[in-house]
């Protein structure tokens, strides 16, 4: 695989786009560095409390809490029944989340969208049916039964103007504590280190913030709830946060080294926590799987086979790892988009996909994987790939605007 540098925001302002800078660095060290610019700022104000049409029982949605005052709260598209097995995806190119039926090409008759806040990224689903969504403006709470936003909780971290695009400030990765009492969200601060903000789900407010690395793409939690992990994309590592003391420490996860800095493609994106032993699994380039021990900080490397740039990752209870291949860095050398299905023993199946993808979720019965097409970089598409894991058959389902985060209801 021939590696190139990844795009980074321009340090010179929103209007300048420097040309690519060639490099003679060897394979695995980043051969070309390209720069990109954060998209233009669009200041949006969060919405105030309001009522939505009821769900299947015709009841009214709870009033919205912890929001910045402004216009009436946005609502869903009407009283539509949300059944088990439907998908909820974040519309990174808009300000909404979309409910859809993955068995229907057009998302089915139950498809509808709910406004949550600018450029929603990650999503976490609670046992009580509340979906927590990391947006550029704050953490949104969505009642999945009534399909209404019930809160928009502002961040304590200053992230600058509310903007859109890959480098926008605000929430990125998000996860729930096992007891459902706290939401953990990785907040990106353009041009600097991020924070892990902790939201009390009962009081619906931020109760603490912990410094972490740059651009916390993903947030995960240990099964016992003792530790929270942020995958710090631009810092080449993972921050391990003790949920009892809020003390943190950093583990460098850089199987290709850190040469190239912000311009390197060879950085971590998403992490999966292995059920059997709590190890952190971080895929790189369809070539290497970094296995990090969160207690000792030791990292070992296992071989992968997809030979493509990789982003989203999740693991099922039986230890099977699912990894999204977004596509080649160098089309002349690398393989296209794919879904890797990796068994606990290391055996891999690589299922080809059509077009770039970002994140992955798996059905409750373990038979189907859902892969979002809203890639954080250029080349995204507005749909979900539905993958039959047994046969490798792939079909497409229409989704919202640049669907990124994904949850199975």
- Would you place residue 1 in the very low, low, confident or very high pLDDT band (cuts 50, 70, 90)? low
- Interval 255-290: pLDDT, tens: 999 998 988 999 999 999 999 999 999 999 999 999
Give dist(CA 307, CA 349) in Å, integer.
Answer: 12
Please compute the mean of the pLDDT values over residues 353-357 and round it to a whole number. 96
pLDDT at residue 263, as a whole number: 87
pLDDT digits (tens, 9 = 90+) for 122-156: 999 999 999 999 999 999 999 999 999 999 999 99
pLDDT of residue 262: 87
Which of helix, strand or coil describes residue 262?
A: helix
Q: How far apart are CA 247 and CA 317, in angstroms?
A: 29
**What percent of the chain is predicted at pLDDT more than 70?**
80
Give the pLDDT of residue 64: 57
pLDDT for residue 80: 62
The whole-chain average pLDDT of the chain stands at 85
pLDDT tier for residue 398 given thresholds of 50, 70 and 90: very high
User: How wide is the angle at C-alpha 88 spanned by C-alphas 187 and 135, nearest 5°?
Assistant: 20
Whether 390 and 397 have beta carbons less than 8 Å apart is answered as no
Model pLDDT for residues 363-390, shown as the tens digit of each residue: 999 999 999 999 998 889 999 999 999 9
Band the pLDDT of 79: cuts 50, 70, 90: low
CA distances from 256 to 30, 179, 293, 332 (A): 9, 37, 18, 21
Query: Looking at residue 347, what DSSP letter applies?
Result: -
Residue 74 is encoded by which pair of tokens? 């946005």
Neighbours of 5 (CB within 10 A): 26
Contact 128, 181 (CB under 8 A): no
Q: Minimum mean pLDDT among 7-16, 243-252, 316-325: which range?
A: 7-16
Local confidence band at 239 (pLDDT 50, 70, 90 cut-offs): very high
- Specify the pLDDT at position 59: 35
- What pLDDT score does 380 carry? 94
The residue assigned the tokens 């850089």 is 254
H helix runs in 322-366, sequence order: none
CA distance 325 to 1: 13
Please give the share of the chain, as a percent, with pLDDT higher than 90. Answer: 77
DSSP 407: E
Q: How far is CA 30 from CA 24, 229, 263, in A?
A: 9, 26, 8
Could you give the dihedral angle defined by the CA atoms of residues 186, 190, 194 and 196, in that order, rounded to the nearest 10 degrees? Answer: -30
Radius of gyration of the chain from its Cα atoms, rounded to whole angstroms = 20
Average the pLDDT over 70-76 and give the result: 39
Q: Look at residue 7 and tell me whether its pLDDT is greater than 70.
A: no
CA distance 180 to 67: 21
DSSP tag of 258: S
How far is 290 from 272, CA to CA, in rounded Å? 11
Q: Which residues contact 309 (CB under 8 A, 6 or more apart)?
A: 265, 285, 286, 325, 326, 327, 328, 329, 334
- The span from the CA of 373 to the CA of 379, in Å, is 9
pLDDT digits (tens, 9 = 90+) for 310-327: 999 999 999 999 999 999
The CATH superfamily of 8-408 is: YVTN repeat-like/Quinoprotein amine dehydrogenase (2.130.10.10)
B/e letters for 92-124, b = 16+ CB within 10 Å, e = fewer, are: bbbbbbbbbbbeeeebbebbbbbbbbbbbbbbb
Ranking 32-41, 77-86, 213-222, 347-356 by mean pLDDT, the lowest is: 32-41
Q: Beta-carbon neighbour count of residue 26 at 10 Å? A: 11
What is the rounded average pLDDT of the residues 186-190?
Answer: 98
The domain limits of the chain are 8-408
Distance CA 399, CA 101 (A): 9
Residues 6+ apart with CB under 8 A from 299: 251, 252, 253, 255, 290, 291, 292, 293
**pLDDT band per the 50, 70, 90 thresholds, residue 81:** low
The residues, any chain, with a CB within 8 Å of residue 295's CB and separated by 6 or more, are: none
Question: Is residue 309 predicted with pLDDT exceeding 90?
Answer: yes
pLDDT at 217 over 60: yes
CB 201 within 8 A of CB 131: no
pTM for the predicted model, two decimal places? 0.83
Q: What angle do CA 190, 196, 198 make, to 5 degrees?
A: 135
């Amino acid at each position: 695989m021939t590696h190139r540098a990844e795009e980074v925001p321009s340090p010179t302002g929103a209007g300048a786009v420097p040309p690519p800078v060639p490099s003679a660095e060897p394979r695995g060290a980043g051969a070309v560095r390209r720069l990109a610019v954060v998209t233009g700022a669009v200041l949006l104000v969060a919405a105030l409390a309001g009522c939505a049409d009821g769900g299947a029982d015709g009841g009214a949605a709870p009033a919205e809490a912890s929001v910045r005052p402004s216009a009436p709260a946005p609502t869903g598209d009407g009283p539509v029944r949300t059944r088990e097995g439907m998908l909820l995806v974040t519309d990174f190119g808009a300000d909404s989340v979309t409910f859809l039926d993955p068995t229907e090409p057009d998302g089915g008759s139950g498809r509808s969208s709910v406004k949550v806040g600018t450029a929603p990224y990650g999503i976490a689903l609670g046992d009580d049916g509340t979906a927590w969504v990391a947006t550029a403006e704050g953490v949104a709470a969505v009642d999945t039964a009534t399909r209404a936003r019930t809160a928009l909780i502002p961040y304590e971290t200053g992230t600058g103007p509310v903007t859109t695009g890959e480098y926008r400030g605000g929430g990125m990765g998000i996860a729930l504590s096992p007891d459902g009492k706290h939401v953990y969200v990785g907040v990106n601060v353009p041009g600097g280190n991020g924070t892990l903000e902790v939201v009390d789900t009962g009081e619906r407010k931020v109760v603490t913030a912990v410094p972490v690395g740059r651009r916390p793409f993903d947030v995960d939690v240990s099964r016992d709830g003792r530790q929270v992990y942020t995958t710090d994309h631009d810092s080449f590592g993972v921050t391990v946060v003790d949920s009892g003391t809020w003390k943190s420490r950093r583990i460098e996860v850089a199987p290709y080294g850190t040469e190239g800095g912000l311009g390197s493609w060879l950085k971590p994106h998403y992490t999966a926590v292995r059920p059997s032993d709590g190890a952190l699994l971080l895929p790189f380039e369809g070539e290497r799987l970094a296995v990090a021990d969160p207690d000792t900080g030791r990292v070992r490397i296992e071989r992968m086979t997809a030979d493509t740039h990789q982003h989203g990752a999740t693991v099922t209870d039986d230890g099977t790892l699912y990894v999204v291949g977004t596509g080649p860095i160098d089309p002349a050398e690398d393989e296209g988009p794919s879904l890797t299905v990796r068994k606990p023993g290391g055996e891999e199946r690589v299922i080809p996909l059509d077009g770039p993808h970002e994140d992955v979720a798996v059905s409750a019965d373990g038979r189907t994987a859902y892969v979002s097409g809203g890639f954080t970089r250029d080349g995204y598409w507005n749909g979900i790939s539905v993958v039959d894991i047994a046969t490798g058959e792939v079909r497409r389902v229409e989704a919202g605007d640049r669907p990124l985060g994904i949850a199975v209801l």
